[in-house]
Structure 1
Amino acid sequence: MLTFLLMMGISSPTDSIPQTTTLKAAEVRADKVNSGITSIQAKSLTGAALAGESVEGLIRTLSGVVATDELSSQYAVRGGSFDENLLLIEGFEVYRPQLARSGQQEGLSAINPDLVGNLEFSAGGFSVLYGDKLSSVLSVRYQPTAFNLPEGQAQWKVKTGLYASRLAHAGYWDSHGLQWLSLLGIRVKSNRRFQQGLDTEGDYLSHAEDVQWLIKGHSKQWTHTGFAMAQNSAYSLQPSSRTTEFGTVTQVLRLSVYMAGKESYDYQNAFTGWRSSYQLAEGHQLSAQFSATQALESESADVESAYLLGEVNQNLGSDQFGDIAYWRGSGGHFRHARNHQWMRSLQASLGGYHKLNDRQTLTWGTGWQQQTGLDHLDEWVNLDSAGYSLPYTATLVTDSGWIGTQNLDLHQRFRANGLLNNDKLHAFVNYTVKGQQGEASMGLRLLHDSRSGEWRLSPRIALSSTLRDDWSLDLRGGSYAQTASVRELRNWRDLSFDASAPMQHAWHGIIGLEKHFERQSRPFYWRSEAYVKYLDKAFPFEQDGMRLRYLGTTPIQAKVIGIDQRLHTEWVDGAESWFSLSFYRSSEKVNDQWQRRASDYRHAMSLRVEDQLPDEPGSRVYVQIQYSGGFPFGAPLATEKPFSSSAYRRLDLGFERLLHVQGFQRVSIILEAFNLLEIRNTASYFWIMDISTANQYAVPNYLSDRLMNLSLQVSF
């Protein structure tokens, strides 16, 4: 089995013994040393019933993962924040947007599903090879297996639908004594159809474009890998009105809003990276890697609105049933925003892999990363009702010469700038030994952050043992540190930007039990993990849709304890299915009191089924069900979050029919039904005030409604 040693980009045989369940469409493996890593070989994601056309839609169905916005590529893992997840494509760390407030503003995921050959995901307890994040790592390898492409040939794949189109190409050639592989992917997407199912009516304009190119060349001693990516997305809305009903069964409130103005969001990202590996001798390899990325995000808004809040008549015997019984309040709302964030990162690293003998391997690496970031925050919100925002000043009505000298009292005002300049150094060494009944992996990772001046030494260990009857037991744990991004250094309460804030740090402890077995001639793989995560240095944050707002850079304590279960099988040959179930509790200590963290969903369940019609192997059906608990929320920037949102529930269906067309390798028609049950899930809350009583109301911002999609995929 080949394993890419991440961050250092080394490709070499490992000494682990994989247990493999081979499926026609996917392959799920469990390595003994890294048994916490879920590996899925995704040859094709067509017809997968993924609303956002993203690979992350598969990740959110794994145990320990929660995501409550189907259009976003962000997800939370075991009570952590979005910023605690590491994404690697071909061993290169990839940047994710940070200013977007919702999934409808986000463009394309950084992962191109047409190029994916293999996914590796760890929800915690990963080795020193994977870098520096607190919660999880997702590693993606692009491979020609995604095309079923024999060596020496070329192939095109085209998929077009009602809201997204994709073009991909793979080909081989020989040059200068090297055999080269090229993978090219181009994507275009619009969320406009999803946005039309939202409560807010208006003129939506949404588009995103993405180009990715991977090139690999290899000879007997050299292996070269180059990867480049360019992304662009734009979102704008000229809202006209919004009507939202919320409340309880016995008391339903209706918010009617009339709006004018415009809001927009833009995102551009460019990345390039190169890695070269040289084989010194059999089992000994050196690798050097360099990458550069630059991203720019901009958000602007000038939206004026007038709202009416009324109580709906719920009397079934009344002629006015469904009408407003009485108005609770009214007011004006004006939101202004001019927010910008720019980031540049340069990375260079060197590493080595050495096979000491048939039982032992040694891996080492060292690297440098230079981070530069600029953050400009300028937004305010004004509430008004008959002069509510104007300070009281005693004056006569007949005093026509009076001139006000006091400022307007705004409901919210945020204005600040921040600059991040950081040099990060890291080094690691990992030793693996294999025995007859088990394996052990021990590593040390050293991390230095010039911004805070800290040095952090992180030990990590993984032990596994094979038991009888296909049972295996493993223990993993260690220390995990995370350097801060621009977003993490902004304190939204006092608008300070603490560039010298300490690194966040956590301890992981995990025990896992797994078994491979068969029932009714079907292969099954079951795994259970119990874990504890203690964060001795964590930043408090609140979650506003997909936007994270950090509430201070003074470290606090946090803890997560939970259990994950997952079961994999295949209903028919080549159709993979799995079930995931998670229970956990995530809390943090604020003002000497333990309270729920912003990502404390408590429980999550997901089911993914791939099946085919009897005696019709060319007709496939995909079912994806997700359920998770509600997230805690409260007034914006408040310390306590005493309320809990409604649970997230969603059912997506996909149908695929293969057509036999002469001259084409594969032609299929795909019909997808997103949110089939038309459940109104809540993404975030919009807070309004009844000026007359000063009462505040949390109005839910609902996610997309039911939507149908039809697409055609052709390979030739």
Structure 2
Amino acid sequence: MKNLIITALLLFTTIVTAQNATVKGVLKNEFKEPIEGVAVTTSKFGTVSNNKGEYTITVTADTEITLIFTHVAYNTYKKKVKIPKNKTFRFSPTLTAKVEEIHEVVIENSKDKAQGTINVDPLTATKIPGAKEGVENVLLTFAGVNNNNELSTQYNVRGGNFDENLVYINGIEVYRPFLVRTGQQEGLSFVNENMAQNVKFSAGGFQAKYGDKLSSVLDITYRTPTKFAANISASLLGASATIEGTMFNNKLSALVGVRYRNNSLLINSKDIETTTEPNFTDAQLYLSYLINEKFKLDFLGVFSLNNYNYTPKSRSTKFGTVSDPLELIVYYEGQEKDAFKTLFGAINGSYIVNNNLSFNLTTSLYHTVEQEHYDIFAAYNLGEVNADFSASNFGDVEFSEGIGSQLNHARNDLDALIGAAEIKGTYKKNSHQIDFGIKYKIEDIRDRINEWEVIDSVGFNVRPPHHIPNNQPYEPYTNPIEPYQNVQAQNNVKIDRLVWFAQYSKNAFINNHKIWYNLGLRSHNWNINGDEIATVNQITYSLRGQFAIKPAWEKDMLFRISGGMYHQPPFYKELRNYEGTVIPTVDAQKSLQVVIGNDFSFNLWNRPFKLVSEVYYKHLSNVNVYSVDNVRIRYIADNNATAYATGLDLRLNGEFVPGTQSWISIGLLKTEENYDNMGYIARPTDQRFKFGMLFQDYMPNIPMVKMYLNLVYNTGVPGGSPSYSNAYNYQSRLNDYKRADIGISYVFTDAQNKNTKGWLKQFEELSLGAEIYNLFDVQNSITNTWVRDVYSKEYYAIPNYMTPRVFNVKLHMKF
């Protein structure tokens, strides 16, 4: 019986083998280079080419089959064959390279390289995984760009704060809400990444044509449609849709984007039990009408509405060390209701006088109405946790070190109207270029601040330490009860600004070495007035320059140096001190900057790579010292400090995996300030070390399965200090920030692998994926909550943890 079974198996194997044939070959590209990792498949069999481009595949004999050759970096190749049984067919097609849709664009224009800007394909922002989608999520993978708050779209650059960054859309400056205190209130970024065509970012040393900020420039251009298209994306966090097309013989183009976001999935997963309804909606419209060959009109309109309803119930936070574990338990009553409504409109007219001269006239209006209303009562218990593993009550609180309560109240309302009119011109002649412009802007801000906090510890009301001395419970306190913190102010402020700039640029050669340089002057005059505010008028001038040289060497290298004077005249928030009072005499913060950089392009493993290195130094004067609580910044408003920031940024991008683009960033930073000649201490943004990586990969056998990994590691920043305390006494740092977000998607069809049959033919693109945020479930903290014990007068810093591991599903389609 056993011999019969063996004989039958051998006979069956022989029959099956006889029905098969073999295909062999070598796969090469247009440059006759072998291609590794090409998936060669039929309906039944599959294989992958080796490092020499060789492949061997078994196919069904005497039947017409289709050989499919796929690789993420090359266009799909198909071949129909019919091979007799037991025969070997040799087939070696040449595969043509395709353009990958997601990567950091390496601009070959030497002028753009010389300016030191980072150019990013906006599609990257739609692919990269992260709790906050958008262009800002990509920026946080770069050296020198930091924010340890994954719920926020704000960022700080090279030691600056959130208020020191310029953001432009189609050359129009855009703004953020004023009253936002936490990242979970922010909602959507002003920038709709689905509408963007070009994204440029400069981390310092930018030209005079850009505005008056100290840190960075994000310059975004929305695309002008040329045909009808529709994009739809949906996930567990929200949805977005973009529709575009042309009308009137292609003279009018329209681009409409609508987005909805709900962060409940992220917020309700924190260590605070809440009932939260955060929903954020915006709609954007971009119209472009070509009147004739020389004159074009553009319109950009934006409406956004952020509603944030927050009802905390309880909180349980464990912290401390293994030998001294502590736990904070809080029970809440009350709620918070916030709303931020924004309207923005801009009209731009572009006129080409001739081949050398062109003008742009832009008018814009920004209106925001914001409210921050809350009444939240919290009763807390801070205690020591039993750390004895053998004890029956292991993990329970054994001894209370602080018991108390606090009541927070706010009725803050703000109405801001910002209008601007600007005319800019460009004159080009051969290798010479002159840019110039003048802008008038008016800011009308009406702000009412009414917020206070009452702290009670074991039945004793805690008074502000800088008021009448309070020695409770040792001595009776007979003065009236007052809040521990109390800010009452009403400000009606108008700021008029007149700004102009002029700059000259030139391309030239020195002994076959290509050079480019730019020199510009900028002036900013502002006038502050308002109810019960003395009228103050100030003016500042800043000189900036850039120089770059590309030597005629065999190696592809470029060297550049840029910098100059960067002044930041105060915006409304910078005029308002801790008590809510507007100080009109606040001067512009000033910075002398120098940035030295090098771009080195080379081939590694026969694939293109680029290493960008920059070293920088900033000397700051008239510094307006501030404190940071989550994303809210409060200024002292007295210009009574000096500071500096210095560091090194490195970024290596290229094809770590054949046919894909990834990058690694490393940043070193040190920034300190000296307030009132008390000595230098770390600034709130002193993030000493940064490592960021965006890595893209795919499955060799199934290249339509793609993976995106977003990895960030930041060393801890100073954790802040309690109210009314001296920041010089609180220089301890938060724990290091470690976060990994991963996304895996299957691309059913796209531009490079278009499906012309079945239900998929109606889609230009279709993909479905899953994302895991905070892959390793690391407890990262962004700020501290300070709990005070009335007996010991000691403050305890309780970390406020960010989001844990969260799972998301994402669908994208394009018609």
Matched, 1:47 2:127: yes
Q: Distance in 1 between matches of 2:671 and 2:370?
A: 31
Which residue matches 1:447?
524
Q: Distance in 2 between matches of 1:277 and 1:235?
A: 40
1:103 aligned to which of 161, 178, 183: 183
Which residue matches 2:722?
635
Relative to the length of structure 2, the TM-score reads 0.80
Normalized per residue, the structure richer in strand is: 1
The structure having more radius of gyration, on CA atoms, is 2
Which residue matches 1:165?
239
Q: Distance in 2 between matches of 1:88 and 1:81?
A: 18
Matched, 1:569 2:649: no
Q: Which has the higher contact order (CA 8 A, sep 6+)?
A: 1
Q: Distance in 2 between matches of 1:385 and 1:530?
A: 50
Question: After superposition, where does 1:192-341 map in structure 2 within 5 Å?
Answer: 192-218=264-290, 219-341=292-414
TM-superposition CA deviations, 1:620-659 (whole Å, max 9, x none): 1100001112111222353323211111110000111112
Q: Distance in 1 between matches of 2:100 and 2:589?
A: 40
What SS does the aligned partner of 2:517 have?
strand
Q: Which runs of 4+ in 1 moved over 6 A?
A: none
2:174 aligned to which of 65, 84, 94: 94
Q: Distance in 2 between matches of 1:312 and 1:386?
A: 20
Matched, 1:460 2:544: yes
Q: Which amino acid aligns with 2:383?
A: G
Which residue matches 2:230?
156
Which residue matches 2:27?
none
Q: Distance in 1 between matches of 2:342 and 2:505?
A: 38
Contact 2:457-2:789 at 8 Å conserved across structures: no
Q: How big is the shift at 1:22? A: 7.4
Q: How big is the shift at 1:474? A: 0.5
Q: How big is the shift at 1:383? A: 1.4
Q: Distance in 1 between matches of 2:674 and 2:315?
A: 38
Contact 1:67-1:74 at 8 Å conserved across structures: yes
What SS does the aligned partner of 1:29 have?
coil
TM-superposition CA deviations, 1:84-122 (whole Å, max 9, x none): 001111111111123222111111111112112111000
Identity %: 29
Q: Which moved more, 1:630-639 or 1:375-384?
A: 630-639
Q: Distance in 1 between matches of 2:589 and 2:366?
A: 23
What SS does the aligned partner of 1:193 have?
helix
Q: How big is the shift at 1:459? A: 0.9
TM-superposition CA deviations, 1:572-603 (whole Å, max 9, x none): 45522111111111111112111111111112
Q: Distance in 2 between matches of 1:374 and 1:485?
A: 14
TM-superposition CA deviations, 1:593-624 (whole Å, max 9, x none): 11111111112110011121114332111000
Which residue matches 1:12?
none
Q: How big is the shift at 1:77? A: 0.3
Matched, 1:668 2:742: no
Q: Distance in 1 between matches of 2:723 and 2:659?
A: 49
What SS does the aligned partner of 2:704 have?
strand
Q: Distance in 2 between matches of 1:390 and 1:501?
A: 33
Which residue matches 1:602?
688
Matched, 1:715 2:803: no
Q: Distance in 2 between matches of 1:601 and 1:366?
A: 37
Alignment CA distance shift 1:574-1:185 (3 Å): farther
What SS does the aligned partner of 2:248 have?
strand
Instruction: Mark the runs of 5 or more structure 1 residues left unpaired by the alignment.
Output: 1-20, 393-403
Q: Distance in 2 between matches of 1:651 and 1:390?
A: 42
Q: Distance in 1 between matches of 2:134 and 2:101?
A: 21
What SS does the aligned partner of 1:453 have?
strand
Q: Which moved more, 1:271-280 or 1:367-376?
A: 367-376
TM-superposition CA deviations, 1:224-266 (whole Å, max 9, x none): 2210101100111111111011111211110111111001221
Question: After superposition, where does 1:363-512 map in structure 2 within 5 Å?
Answer: 363-389=435-461, 406-436=479-509, 437-451=514-528, 452-467=536-551, 468=553, 469-492=555-578, 494-512=579-597
TM-superposition CA deviations, 1:41-68 (whole Å, max 9, x none): 2235443202112221001111210011
Q: Distance in 2 between matches of 1:141 and 1:457?
A: 28
Q: Distance in 1 between matches of 2:657 and 2:386?
A: 52
Q: Which amino acid aligns with 1:28?
A: V
Q: Distance in 1 between matches of 2:482 and 2:559?
A: 62
Q: Which amino acid aligns with 2:163?
A: D
Contact 1:489-1:499 at 8 Å conserved across structures: yes
What SS does the aligned partner of 1:130 have?
coil
Q: Which amino acid aligns with 2:333?
A: A
TM-superposition CA deviations, 1:425-451 (whole Å, max 9, x none): 111111111112211111111111122
Q: How big is the shift at 1:666? A: 1.3
Matched, 1:536 2:635: no
2:221 aligned to which of 127, 132, 141: 141
Q: Which amino acid aligns with 1:379?
A: E
Contact 1:645-1:682 at 8 Å conserved across structures: yes
TM-superposition CA deviations, 1:516-573 (whole Å, max 9, x none): 1111121111111111111112100011111111123334211111111111112345
Q: How big is the shift at 1:663? A: 1.2
Q: Distance in 2 between matches of 1:528 and 1:629?
A: 21
1:618 aligned to which of 687, 704, 721: 704
Q: Which amino acid aligns with 1:334?
A: L
TM-superposition CA deviations, 1:267-315 (whole Å, max 9, x none): 1111000111111111211111110001122111111121111111112
Q: Distance in 2 between matches of 1:374 and 1:29?
A: 45
Relative to the length of structure 1, the TM-score reads 0.91
Q: Distance in 1 between matches of 2:808 and 2:566?
A: 42
Q: Distance in 1 between matches of 2:338 and 2:783?
A: 18
Question: After superposition, where does 1:111-126 map in structure 2 within 5 Å?
Answer: 111-126=191-206
RMSD: 1.9
Instruction: Mark the runs of 5 or more structure 2 residues left unpaired by the alignment.
Output: 1-97, 469-476, 529-535, 750-759
Q: How big is the shift at 1:346? A: 0.6
Q: Distance in 2 between matches of 1:697 and 1:521?
A: 56
What SS does the aligned partner of 2:322 have?
coil
What SS does the aligned partner of 1:310 have?
strand
Matched, 1:343 2:423: no
Q: Distance in 1 between matches of 2:164 and 2:453?
A: 30
What SS does the aligned partner of 2:251 have?
strand
Contact 1:25-1:574 at 8 Å conserved across structures: no
TM-superposition CA deviations, 1:12-54 (whole Å, max 9, x none): xxxxxxxxx9754232327545432101122354432021122
What SS does the aligned partner of 2:265 have?
helix
Contact 2:526-2:538 at 8 Å conserved across structures: yes
Q: How big is the shift at 1:405? A: 8.7
Q: Distance in 2 between matches of 1:542 and 1:233?
A: 25
Contact 1:389-1:408 at 8 Å conserved across structures: yes
Which residue matches 2:753?
none
Which residue matches 2:107?
29
Q: Which amino acid aligns with 1:680?
A: Q
Q: Which amino acid aligns with 1:155?
A: A
Contact 2:115-2:206 at 8 Å conserved across structures: no
Q: How big is the shift at 1:385? A: 3.3
What SS does the aligned partner of 2:622 have?
strand
What SS does the aligned partner of 1:693 have?
coil
Contact 2:122-2:135 at 8 Å conserved across structures: no
